[in-house]
Chains A and B, each alone.
Chain A
Amino acid sequence: DAGITQSPRHKVTETGTPVTLRCHQTENHRYMYWYRQDPGHGLRLIHYSYGVKDTDKGEVSDGYSVSRSKTEDFLLTLESATSSQTSVYFCAIRIGYEQYFGPGTRLTVT
Chain B
Amino acid sequence: GENVEQHPSTLSVQEGDSAVIKCTYSDSASNYFPWYKQELGKGPQLIIDIRSNVGEKKDQRIAVTLNKTAKHFSLHITETQPEDSAVYFCAARINTGTASKLTFGTGTRLQVTL
A interface residue numbers (CB < 8 A to B): 1, 31, 40-45, 48, 50, 54, 56, 58-59, 90, 94, 97-104
B interface residue numbers (CB < 8 A to A): 1, 4, 6, 32, 34, 36, 42-46, 49, 51, 89, 91, 93, 96, 98-107
Q: How far is the CB of B72 from chain A (nearest CB, A)?
A: 17
Chain B interface, >50% SS class? strand
- CB pair B44–A97 under 8 Å, yes or no, is no
Q: How far is the CB of B59 from chain A (nearest CB, A)?
A: 14
- CB pair B100–A97 under 8 Å, yes or no, is yes
- CB pair B89–A100 under 8 Å, yes or no, is no
Given contacts A43-B89, A99-B34, contact A58 B101 (CB under 8 A): yes
Given contacts A56-B98, A97-B49, A98-B34, contact A104 B42 (CB under 8 A): yes
Measured in the bound complex, the distance between the Cα atoms of B98 and A94 in whole Å is 13
Q: How far is the CB of A52 from chain B (nearest CB, A)?
A: 14
Measured in the bound complex, the distance between the Cα atoms of B101 and A50 in whole Å is 11
